[in-house]
Structure 1
Amino acid sequence: MAFKHQMILKVTMPSILIAMTLLATSFIGIRSMNRLQERRDSIISEHVARLQLAQDLETHMRRIRLHSLLYIMEPIPERRDKLMNDQAAFEKALSALRETVVSPTEQDLIAGIDKGYQEYLVDLKQSVSSPPTFAISEFMKWADSHPIKHIVNLCEEVLNENRASMKQTTEETREKTTRTRSWMVVLGVVGACGGLIGGFGVAWGLSRVITRLKVRLQDVHAHLDQEVASLRFTAESGDLKNMELQVGKIYDRVRIIVDQLQRQERDSIRAEQLAAVGQLAAGIAHEVRNPLTSIKLLVGAALSQKNSGGLSETDLKVIHEEVVRVEKKVQALLDFARPQNMDVRPTDLVELIYQFTGLIKSRLQQQKVDLELDLPDSPVMCKIDSDQFKGLLVNLSLNALDVMPSGGEIKIQLRTEADGSLELDMCDTGPGIDPLVIDRLFTPFVSNKPTGTGLGLSISRQIVQNHGGTLTAFNQPEGGACFRIHLPKAFAGALKHADTSSRR
């Protein structure tokens, strides 16, 4: 099922990406066209409104011109009322047009109309107070030469300016619409081509996947049985369902083989453990038999000497030493099988190391082994079981002394890491750890020494792990073995950082 989902996702993802891209682009294009249309409608509406106001302005001015002439010729209330109505309508149209014009040309024309209109009002007032005494023909000539005619011309110019602006806006909008449509056509063509290319890429990718599956199954043929090898894909196959079924069969078969291998591995480990137990039993029997033989000989000799006074003091010392030897071997086995409870307390690790060196001082002097200490000047507090940790250090140092019977050097270094953890290294200049044993050095019953039982390092690692740390071993490039103890910050406690110095 997982293979099917991955295959479907791999096949459909490019198509989904292309479709989403086209959808987003189309949405943006439609949105742009709608905004362009809305803007065009808004601009046209503004131009139409200004055009209507300009037409009204010209119409009212022509009516004012006519009614002014009639009122001057015959100043009666009826003609005066018509003129005043025309003036009010003209002023209203002029005020509305003044608020809508935006171009500098139109603003100049409106200013000219307003100025001429004010001059007309002054002239009208003078003409009404002292009307000219002309004949009809003379009145017509006077009307043609009157300044109000220039205002009419300005109104016509405003009207023409709005018509030209509206025409220009319409042309610009038409050009933008044409460009947008062209881009939509290009987008459609590019989208179709992208779909074809994407489909080809998906098909090519599927072909490569199927080919790789075939190659891998041919490799399986060289490692598994004929039943698995008979399940193959063909590069031309396009049936994903059949492909999934075949892969499922291979998975089931391989899982069976892996289970068999795991069972065999467990059986092998169990056999190794039984062999190790046998070796342990042989080693314990050897270690216990030798002391018992010595005790048996001494007791037998004492029994055969009927007239003697029994065992001498020397014989009793030998028997005691051999009994202690047997006790140590049995205690080591018990410590491994049943670890002691931890008594964790805040401890100065620097002071503990100095105490430990006192325990092995005589052995160091006997074998002429130098001890180099690289420890912090200030106390390093940590939460450990001091007795177990001291025993751990003694065990590691005795192992180092065993491989340097003719002298050498042991170096102990304690340092604080940046994250607050502690690292303690104990290195020697001995022959190092056998490469054949180093990977299994901490495995129970595995020893690097001919006389060892293989429990000391296992117990040591168990002690460190109980403190939340790790114990590792490696060979140094310059020679000799090194054991590293790492304690995390939780067990390191409140540490006091200080410069390190070498001490002997």
Structure 2
Amino acid sequence: MIGKPDYTRLLILTVAVTGISMFHYFTPLHASYLHDIFQRLYYIPIILSALWFGLRGGLFCSVIVSIVYAPHILYQWGGDFSMETGKYLEILLFNIVGGLTGFLSQLEKERTAELKKTAEGLEISYSKLKAQSERIMAIEEQLRRAEKLSTMVELAAVLAHEVRNPLGSIRGTAEILRDDYPPDNPKHEFIDIQIRETERLNRVVSEFLQMVRPRPSDMQPCNVMEELETIATLLTNDARNHHVEIVLEPTGKQVPIMADSEKLRQAFLNIILNALQAAPAGSSVSIAVDASDSVSLSIRIHDSGPGIDLGNLDRLFVPFFTTKPDGTGLGLSITKKIIESHNGTIAIESLKGKGTTVIIRLPVSEKTKQ
């Protein structure tokens, strides 16, 4: 397919060859010096055609010029070979120049195309190498940060352990001092605050240590429904205090999974406690287990509380992030870590004013299917 620039070049060559030929045919023979000039002018379209269209272009134009110029020699100059040898040799030279120039032009174009292709390949390779280098640098930076973070976490764990040791003594001493004052004494109230804050600090330290130094998992066949029933029983008083009912929906099929029962129980406990605290008085917290999938087990825990702001959903599993005044911000972080250690997933769906649903999926082991 010929593009617009090629049509323009063909038009230029056609006009040039036609114009030079007309000068030849309409110029008197006695003006031989003009014919010599016109004869040399033929090289312009021949060379241009060779440069623009390569070997075939150069040969095609030189052949056309030869065909157009030959009648002028034969009929206007008499065609005597001995007299017009120079003109016949000029026709031969037209074709030699056209072929040679076209060959060199085509060779140069091919080399240019190869070099361009090589340059593009080098540019792509450079881009890939640069991207890989940036990724390596990013990974190295992450490793350095991870190493620093690991050191800081280990140091924090040591400090937390050292802090927890005297907390029991402080609490015991405070309880003894509280007994020395009647309940209506202001000092009794101050000591109560001290005891509550000591308990809260001990809870934060314990959860932090549990997160950074989890004990090894003891994977055994575990009946999720039985674990949830146990938790529902344990939380009966909490539910009554919040005026909330825990509804454990029955499931027809029970599939045991391979899990650390104690850790899994703690994960469920954290989620259900959060649901109880979020649910309004007179409502319920529903727990449903779906065992219809042969690959995974689904546990859905729903409360009809106020819901969670959309901006906070992505931050719920971040350590120490909490929306509760007395929360530690570690419960969901620990829960997520426990679920992921069981090769499971946890997700939270929430709409403002319409409650929150926590969805846990745990894989069903081949051992428990048998």
Bucket of the pairwise TM-score, normalised by the shorter protein? 0.5 to 0.7
Of 482, 487, 491, 2:362 maps to: 487
Q: Distance in 1 between matches of 2:245 and 2:321?
A: 28
Alpha carbons of 1:337 and 1:246: their partners in 2 closer, same or farther (altered >3 Å)?
Answer: closer
User: Residues 152-183 of structure 1: CA distance to partner in whole angstroms, max 9, x if unpaired?
Assistant: xxxxxxxxxxxxxxxxxxxxxxxxxxxxxxxx
- Counterpart of 1:435 in structure 2 is 310
Equivalent in the alignment of 2:268: 393
SS in structure 2 at match of 1:413: strand
Q: Work out which of the residue numbers 288, 306, 317 in structure 2 matches 1:413.
A: 288
1:445 corresponds to which residue?
Answer: 320
Q: Does 1:454 align with 2:323?
A: no
Match of 2:256 in 1: 381
Shift of 1:259: 5.5
Q: Distance in 1 between matches of 2:217 and 2:113?
A: 65
For normalisation by structure 2, the TM-score amounts to: 0.52
Q: 1:419 to 1:428 in 2, by over 3 A?
A: same
Q: What fraction of aligned residue pairs are identical, expressed as a percent?
A: 25
1:464 aligns with 2:339: yes
Match of residue 311 from structure 1: 180
Partner Cα separation in structure 2 for residue 492 and residue 373 of structure 1: 27
Q: Summarize deviations over 1:67-87 as a string: whole Å, max 9, x none.
A: xxxxxxxxxxxxxxxxxxxxx
User: 1:94-493 residue pairs with structure 2 within 5 A?
Assistant: 238-239=113-114, 240-256=117-133, 262=138, 266=142, 311-312=180-181, 318=192, 323-377=198-252, 379-404=254-279, 406-475=281-350, 479-490=354-365, 493=368
* Structure 1 residues 422 and 404: CA distance shift in structure 2, 3 A: same
Q: 1:343 is aligned with what amino acid?
A: D
CA contact (8 A) 2:309 2:352 kept: no
In structure 1, distance between residues paired with 2:349 and 2:290: 18
Q: Map Cα deviations across residues 449-472 of structure 1 (whole Å, 9 max, x no partner).
A: 343322111211222222232222
Query: Secondary structure in 1 aligned to 2:369?
Result: coil
Q: 1:249 is aligned with what amino acid? A: Y
One-letter amino acid matched to 1:246: E
Gap change, CA 1:328 and 1:242, over 3 Å in 2: closer
Structure 2 counterpart of 1:311, one-letter code: D
Deviation sequence 1:71-128 (CA, Å, 0-9, x none)? xxxxxxxxxxxxxxxxxxxxxxxxxxxxxxxxxxxxxxxxxxxxxxxxxxxxxxxxxx
Change (3 A) 1:415 1:320: same
Could you say if the C-alpha distance between residues 486 and 411 of structure 1 is closer, same or farther in structure 2, counting changes exceeding 3 Å? same
Count of matched residue pairs: 241
Listed as ranges, the gaps of 5+ residues in structure 1 are 1-235, 303-308, 496-504
| Gapped regions of structure 2 (runs ≥ 5) | 1-110
Sort the Cα spacing of 1:462 and 1:257 in 2 relative to 1 into closer, same or farther, 3 A.
closer
In 1, Cα distance between the equivalents of 2:367 and 2:301?
A: 18
Paired amino acid for 1:345: Q
TM superposition score normalised by structure 1: 0.40
* Alignment-mate amino acid for residue 291 of structure 2: T
For residues 411-447 of structure 1, the C-alpha deviation after alignment (integer angstroms, 9 at most, x for no partner) is 1110113324211111111222332232232232333
CA distance in structure 2 between the partners assigned to 1:297 and 1:326 by the alignment:
16
| Amino acid across the alignment from 2:236 | K
* Distance in 1 of aligned mates of 2:367 and 2:315: 28
Please state how far the C-alpha of 1:373 moved relative to its aligned partner. 2.2
2:76 aligned partner: none
| Paired residues of 1:420 and 1:492 also in contact (CA < 8 A) | no
* Whole-angstrom CA distance in 2 between matches of 1:471 and 1:250: 38
Are 2:305 and 2:353, in contact at CA under 8 Å, matched by a contact in 1? no
Q: In 2, are the aligned partners of 1:467 and 1:491 still within 8 Å (CA)?
A: no
RMSD over aligned CA atoms reads 4.4
Q: Classify 1:400/1:492 alpha carbon distance in 2 versus 1 (closer, same or farther; 3 Å).
A: farther
Instruction: Tell me, in whole angstroms, the C-alpha distance in 1 between the residues paired with 2:312 and 2:344.
Output: 22
CA distance in 1, matches of 2:134, 2:199: 52
Which residue does 2:66 correspond to in 1?
A: none
Structure number with higher helix proportion: 1
Deviation (angstroms), 1:400: 1.5
Contact (CA 8 Å) 2:285, 2:304: kept in 1 or not?
A: yes
Once the two structures are superposed, residues 326-374 of structure 1 have per-residue CA deviations (whole angstroms, 9 ceiling, x without a partner) of: 3322211111111123333333322222111111112222222233322
What SS does the corresponding residue of 2:214 show, helix, strand or coil? coil
CA contact under 8 A between 2:249 and 2:288: conserved in structure 1?
Answer: yes
Q: Secondary structure at the match of 1:468?
A: coil
Q: Could you list the per-position Cα deviations for residues 269-315 of structure 1 after superposition, in whole angstroms to 9, with x for gaps in the alignment?
A: 87xx79x98xx99xx9xx99xx99x979969x96xxxxxx9835866
